[in-house]
Structure 1
């Protein structure tokens, strides 16, 4: 046997090659955090700082955070998160969650200012990481990937190095709860994406996203606050290891698999595709007209007597079309994104913008007429009453503006949270809720406070911040996320009646004759109360069969028919005389944002995915309109 002796330099070279091969460049380890829910001074903030310190001492290459950085997406909360991340000695990539997009005093503007974009695309060795925003946007509802983000995702995934393993990241699971999950997962599968990470559920678990292996990360703190930690992901070649890292403890491996194998998710539940079979039961319902925008629509629309339709799009456009021929009459790019709803007033279209302006445009040619600038983003829908428009101003409270020339009549800004809701305007009062647990009633002429009512709940997220109250017979009616039906005295704000017998949410409506108040429950049911003596209890409660529900879109009533919409693109009509279902009809899979009746008595419907429909139904003698 011949023995070879190598010089010391050669031995060092061979050792270096051996070490390099053991630590191949396709080996990647990263910390995966989600649902950290920081509020300045709360326990989550302190635990997050500890986690960042621990990650700094680890061998992780980078950090990914998939949303719910904060509790309400406030400027103070986002800046508190950024201050801690500034101490991180590794690159980090971050996405918003529903707590940043649903409740935000700036409509997401501060998030982008502090963290940059709300999506990312980067490479690390042989892996590619693509993250995108899943909403929802300034209202309760399922998650939603905006149409322009869908286009970005398709374009991004179709370009770049095809040899890399692509890992998708989002806040919402790519399943039920994200309205356009079928389109998202098909787009990912077309580009051979085999793995997706998400948050939202607070529990570390493996999932099945329409055949894509999914990992939901654990939250920073357990719900009982006793368990603190984050997730670790290690990639090497085709292999994946996912571990739970409790603070101060050794990581515990939870899952391991080959990225090309699907057997790891066989047997795990998979979301069912949207089902339109309900439409077969109501074949007399007809889609008479429809229009599709190129972007999503996060607010509602308005109709002009001349046949014009106008709305704001998620890519920042104010659009006005001729309903007859669907031709675009004019459009303006106001800045992205937009959440409000335009309102026609005589020969003008008035809209509040995310850029903090109330603007008026000439209906005929779209030319600007006037604008009034405020200090905060505006998200809501104004109410025209006479020659005034009453409109919420975000953190600026509520305003009355001369609709003819834009002159500010009064502004009430003694609020502790932001105001986004469409106000209820009566003969003498303007009533509105805010994200500060209060309902406010101010004098319509002067804007002076008459009274304010507090729901008594400590959690701001239970505020009547996105419900349009109603007034009848000297009483104010409202429902809210605290799941109570409440009746107040109009003059004094004194609480007259309050019950949580039914799990109501934010969607309600009043009959045109003001004899009945209607509310949508969180599961299947619509309930009716008399407005004269509501404490008698409900007149009827109808199980409509639409499932779990939290869409805040107000219901409308006309000629004894109540119309409502759901978070999954379904509309329903109920005979209010006894509460019988007339029809249910599924138009899409995203939130119904606005319902209106046109001159023909047909139902106009706006879906968040950018679709507008006109529905006709031959009621005939069934309802005796």
Structure 2
């Protein structure tokens, strides 16, 4: 009798546990999973997506579809809208999040995805499961994927909702939760705490069983088919089936009517080893000569360099706020709200500060009060960084135009039109010309007085490449009759400032990062190695590449495009790992290193007397003071 009672008690306890963790109910759930569809006007990828959509619609057992990023190939608003038109043909609901091709290469500053799909993160419940989809792509600036503070708070809120309903939690996002993300551990630690059984990801374009520090992950194949000499890969997507205790992953190839079960996992909530990860800031103990004076955390995150003028620090954030802080105390003096994210570092002259916003306006504010002096309406988003030269504001936008605007009145003086890409760079003015790159694969030289085209140059003159190789993110520099640029081809190029002719290009080694800087005397160009842990200074005077100095650093591979700034004989390099390095301009000797966190730094803002402003994409803003040279 006691044995029977004991068995009944154990069964009752098991049932309670099963209900508590959402796997006691009978479940027969089936959904489709698309990822990395890479829509581009005129491409075969559109037909490939239509084939998968038609096949999904033919299966009456499919309850919904998830899409885990890289909706467009190059972030264009029109391509996102084309994708939506095709996806809207799905008969059942679909739930979509962006990928890095929608957020990094983005004419809208990653705001267009939300305009088209009405969200960037999305959560929904089905069959006792809470599906939580969220953005992890780098925003405008090249670098690792990461989860922003705002998005992480949103994930936390959705997980807490799911727990109140005793739901199983299945997150989906674009980036794998590994070292392809700078702060992956925030998500993996949190999901393990909450017994998440699996995370669904894209980005890698192939079916893959993954392990995120003990947390099971599944990567799904890209949707488009591909034909090559060696192998034909048919159009495909993933069908996911969920039962009471398991989840199954099946590749579906609609054009050849093939289905292949390739993976199976338990859907039951898991118990993980409790391991917590934190940023390693031990480097800060090595360099005791640099100290934090004050620090702020701006919740929306920062994706632009700060600017300094007359005791004030001005910096924009991704919520569209321009902030002004007192340099000495760190107190916020004023803030001004634009309509969308700011990726533009303010240009300042005579108490006037000018910057662009993804809301499509160029603003001029009074630096003392934050009051609007004028604003200019562009035809699209404005991500470009302005310069002020002889009373003119020079700035590019996403409308294929580069403009000169009168600083006093806000009236347009001239416009160079017809470019087929967007502009995010900060132009350089040199020898009566203004130079800048554009995501149409061209680098331009215009007459600074009239806006007339003097010349343009493209890497296609040397070899055939796509616009992904455009020298559009680097801030060009100029000296000694040369303009210097670096692009995703990882080569430093010196162009004749007068003609655009290539004077020299570095060889394939070292691979050069897109971040550039120039010494105050114009004799050296500063660059970082894309791989190889090295800082370089090249001479601007020579007729072929000539290294003045090179200095080893310990920051790993780096693709952070943040410009290199110099002041008082010190050059400031910032890295995707959250590390800033100060080096002597003349010799490359390291003065100090400082780690702010684990996410990408924006360009440093040197102030004076050993003071420098750092900021990162998480929204940390800090004033550092270096008392002596290390």
Q: TM-score, normalised by structure 1?
A: 0.90
Q: Quick check: 1:278–1:586 contact (8 Å CA) kept in 2?
A: yes
What is residue 267 of structure 2 aligned with on the other side? Answer: 259
> Is structure 2 residue 525 aligned with structure 1 residue 517?
yes
Q: Quick check: 1:211–1:262 contact (8 Å CA) kept in 2?
A: no
Distance in 1 of aligned mates of 2:111 and 2:523: 42
- Please list the CA deviations of residues 147-176 of structure 1 after superposition, one character each: whole Å capped at 9, or x if unmatched: 222222222222254311111111111222
What is residue 175 of structure 1 aligned with on the other side? Answer: 178
In the TM superposition, 1:585-624 aligns within 5 A as 585-620=594-629
> Is structure 2 residue 441 aligned with structure 1 residue 433?
no
Q: Quick check: 1:510–1:557 contact (8 Å CA) kept in 2?
A: yes
Structure with the larger RCO, 1 or 2 (CA within 8 Å, 6+ apart): 2
Determine helix, strand or coil for the equivalent of 1:185.
helix
> Is structure 2 residue 197 aligned with structure 1 residue 194?
yes
> Is structure 2 residue 577 aligned with structure 1 residue 543?
no
Q: Quick check: 1:486–1:497 contact (8 Å CA) kept in 2?
A: yes
Match of 1:295 among 293, 300, 322: 300
Q: Quick check: 1:176–1:271 contact (8 Å CA) kept in 2?
A: no
- Please list the CA deviations of residues 179-237 of structure 1 after superposition, one character each: whole Å capped at 9, or x if unmatched: 23222333434444332111111222222234432111111247766213122221112
User: What's the offset of the Cα at 1:348?
Assistant: 2.6
- Please list the CA deviations of residues 283-309 of structure 1 after superposition, one character each: whole Å capped at 9, or x if unmatched: 33322332221221122211221x222
> Is structure 2 residue 591 aligned with structure 1 residue 582?
yes
Q: Quick check: 2:487–2:514 contact (8 Å CA) kept in 1?
A: yes
User: What's the offset of the Cα at 1:478?
Assistant: 0.8
In the TM superposition, 1:495-506 aligns within 5 A as 495-501=502-508, 502-506=510-514
Q: Quick check: 1:551–1:567 contact (8 Å CA) kept in 2?
A: yes
> Is structure 2 residue 423 aligned with structure 1 residue 446?
no
Determine helix, strand or coil for the equivalent of 1:461.
helix
Determine helix, strand or coil for the equivalent of 1:481.
coil
Q: Quick check: 2:306–2:613 contact (8 Å CA) kept in 1?
A: no
> Is structure 2 residue 477 aligned with structure 1 residue 470?
yes
- Please list the CA deviations of residues 231-259 of structure 1 after superposition, one character each: whole Å capped at 9, or x if unmatched: 22211123111222234343222222223
What is residue 333 of structure 1 aligned with on the other side? Answer: 337
In the TM superposition, 1:195-594 aligns within 5 A as 195-221=198-224, 226-228=232-234, 229-247=236-254, 248-260=256-268, 274-305=279-310, 307-456=311-460, 457-501=464-508, 502-523=510-531, 524-594=533-603
Distance in 1 of aligned mates of 2:290 and 2:177: 31
Distance in 1 of aligned mates of 2:112 and 2:573: 34
User: What's the offset of the Cα at 1:536?
Assistant: 4.5
What is residue 103 of structure 2 aligned with on the other side? Answer: 101
Determine helix, strand or coil for the equivalent of 1:143.
coil
User: What's the offset of the Cα at 1:87?
Assistant: 2.2
Q: Quick check: 2:424–2:473 contact (8 Å CA) kept in 1?
A: yes
What is residue 6 of structure 1 aligned with on the other side? Answer: none
Distance in 1 of aligned mates of 2:507 and 2:399: 30
Determine helix, strand or coil for the equivalent of 1:594.
coil
Superposed CA RMSD in Å reads 2.3
What is residue 20 of structure 1 aligned with on the other side? Answer: none
What is residue 4 of structure 1 aligned with on the other side? Answer: none
Query: Structure 1: where are the runs of 5+ without partners?
Result: 1-23
- Please list the CA deviations of residues 36-69 of structure 1 after superposition, one character each: whole Å capped at 9, or x if unmatched: 1122222322222211122112232111111001
Q: Quick check: 2:438–2:472 contact (8 Å CA) kept in 1?
A: yes
> Is structure 2 residue 58 aligned with structure 1 residue 57?
yes
User: What's the offset of the Cα at 1:534?
Assistant: 4.8
Distance in 2 of aligned mates of 1:403 and 1:503: 39
- Please list the CA deviations of residues 501-541 of structure 1 after superposition, one character each: whole Å capped at 9, or x if unmatched: 32113111111111111211211222221111151532333
What is residue 13 of structure 2 aligned with on the other side? Answer: none
Change (3 A) 1:110 1:618: closer
Change (3 A) 1:354 1:289: same
User: What's the offset of the Cα at 1:93?
Assistant: 0.8
Distance in 2 of aligned mates of 1:584 and 1:204: 40
Change (3 A) 1:173 1:222: farther
User: What's the offset of the Cα at 1:356?
Assistant: 1.1
Q: Quick check: 1:38–1:69 contact (8 Å CA) kept in 2?
A: yes
Change (3 A) 1:487 1:139: same
Q: Quick check: 2:301–2:619 contact (8 Å CA) kept in 1?
A: yes
User: What's the offset of the Cα at 1:559?
Assistant: 4.0
Distance in 2 of aligned mates of 1:109 and 1:363: 27
What is residue 90 of structure 1 aligned with on the other side? Answer: 92
> Is structure 2 residue 121 aligned with structure 1 residue 143?
no
- Please list the CA deviations of residues 374-396 of structure 1 after superposition, one character each: whole Å capped at 9, or x if unmatched: 11110122112232221122224
Determine helix, strand or coil for the equivalent of 2:292.
strand
User: What's the offset of the Cα at 1:577?
Assistant: 3.7
What is residue 166 of structure 1 aligned with on the other side? Answer: 169
Distance in 2 of aligned mates of 1:387 and 1:601: 31
Distance in 2 of aligned mates of 1:548 and 1:222: 32
Determine helix, strand or coil for the equivalent of 1:158.
helix
Moved more, 123-132 or 100-109: 100-109
User: What's the offset of the Cα at 1:272?
Assistant: 7.4
Determine helix, strand or coil for the equivalent of 1:529.
strand
Distance in 2 of aligned mates of 1:183 and 1:404: 47
Determine helix, strand or coil for the equivalent of 2:186.
helix
User: What's the offset of the Cα at 1:583?
Assistant: 3.1
Query: Structure 2: where are the runs of 5+ without partners?
Result: 1-24
Detail structure 1 runs of 4+ shifted over 4 Å in the superposition: 222-225, 270-273
User: What's the offset of the Cα at 1:555?
Assistant: 0.8
Distance in 1 of aligned mates of 2:577 and 2:543: 30
Q: TM-score, normalised by structure 2?
A: 0.89
Q: Quick check: 1:213–1:262 contact (8 Å CA) kept in 2?
A: no
